[in-house]
Amino acid sequence: MTADSKHGSLPPSTSAPAGIDPDRTALRQFEAHAEATNDIFLVAARVIANVVEEASRILEAGDAHGPRCDPAACWDALWLAWRPYACNWKGIWWESVAVPDDVSDEEAFRAELKELATDSLALLKSAIDDGRFPALFTAEVYGSLIGMFEMNNLAIEVPSPLESYLEALDESPSTAGSLGSLRDRIEEAAQHPGEGTAYYRLACCANHSCVPNAKATRRTGLDVGGNLALIAEGPITAGEEITISYVDESEPLEQRQRALMDYGFVCSCTRCLQEEQGP
């Protein structure tokens, strides 16, 4: 996939005069840096690009107060465009990410992460920053976006892309017939879903509990293409907080607490407190 297609949310100036006209060379440099270091930068860049697009649309539509070029109007538009991403916890990535067990120098480790993010942001800024939204292109915002994804994402499964390939083969019998036994192997491979992580604006707001009253899951035959559902584990009263488990709650206390270190907190739910006190 090319930089142009991967960042397809960046509209050309000819079709979106209120949008952005990215520097394609700088964009490719940004993408190459992300692929060589950490592809989470691509996700953060997509958010920033989407926010810039939406803020530009708001300015063009006159939904923000003041003239389009007025800094106050740009700030109002930026805030409106940012709101969908304002709800989750955003610990700055290099400050909040858990230190791997094999790292002995925590300070150097965090400094290296900050340097990677700073270099990535500089490339992204040179590619898509047109000067209207300076508050969006800061190390703090960029680091908090990366932290948001790292700390709030959920594991997902999506259908294998081979399913679409098989559907295309079915529309071309001559091609399908020429594959012979290879088609059988493709069909077998297509049975295995793709695995990854995703950010869901609502579900990712749920706090953790080792005795959760809900779970984030995909319902067979209903939730497709990465869609997710929050399913109650039992009755939930009005005003009661909805919680999910970030870890395998069937594990003993010590293993649960160790797994939760990646999220930067020590669980103090009723179950953990009871198990700490012992029988």
Q: Is the confidence at residue 71, as pLDDT, over 80?
A: yes
CB 31 within 8 A of CB 22: no
Cα separation, 37 vs 48, whole angstroms:
19
Q: What is the mean pLDDT of residues 42-62?
A: 89
Would you state the structure tokens that stand for residue 159, as one six-digit string? 């259908």
CB 61 within 8 A of CB 77: no
What is the per-residue pLDDT across 221-276, written as a single tens digit (0 to 9) for each? 566 666 778 889 999 999 999 999 988 889 999 999 988 887 878 899 999 999 98
**pLDDT value at residue 175:** 61
User: What is the bridge-based pairing of β-strands 214-217 and 154-158?
Assistant: unpaired
| Least confident interval from 55-59, 98-102, 127-131 | 98-102
Q: What is the mean pLDDT of residues 206-214?
A: 92
Q: Select 199-279's CATH number: 2.60.98.20, 2.160.20.10, 2.170.270.10, 3.40.605.10.
A: 2.170.270.10
**pLDDT value at residue 45:** 92
Neighbours of 223 (CB within 10 A): 14
Collect all residues with Cβ–Cβ distance below 8 Å to 260 and sequence separation of at least 6. Answer: 208, 246, 247, 266, 267
Mean residue pLDDT across the chain: 81
Cα separation, 80 vs 269, whole angstroms:
35
Higher pLDDT residue, 1 or 92? 92
pTM: 0.69
Q: What is the mean pLDDT of residues 10-37?
A: 69
Q: Is the confidence at residue 188, as pLDDT, over 60?
A: yes
Q: How many residues belong to the chain?
A: 279
Q: Is the dihedral of CA 80, 82, 87, 89 positive or negative?
A: negative
CB 59 within 8 A of CB 68: yes
Domain locations in the chain as residue ranges: 3-152, 154-198, 199-279
Cα separation, 17 vs 31, whole angstroms:
25
Q: Is the confidence at residue 179, as pLDDT, over 80?
A: no
Share of the chain above pLDDT 70, in %: 82
**pLDDT value at residue 66:** 61
Q: Is the confidence at residue 40, as pLDDT, over 60?
A: yes
Higher pLDDT residue, 85 or 252? 252
CA-based nearest residue to 249, from 237, 260, 240, 236: 260
**pLDDT value at residue 104:** 92
Token pair 């703090």: residue: 140
- Angle of CA points 201, 203, 206, to nearest 5°: 115
Higher pLDDT residue, 43 or 170? 43
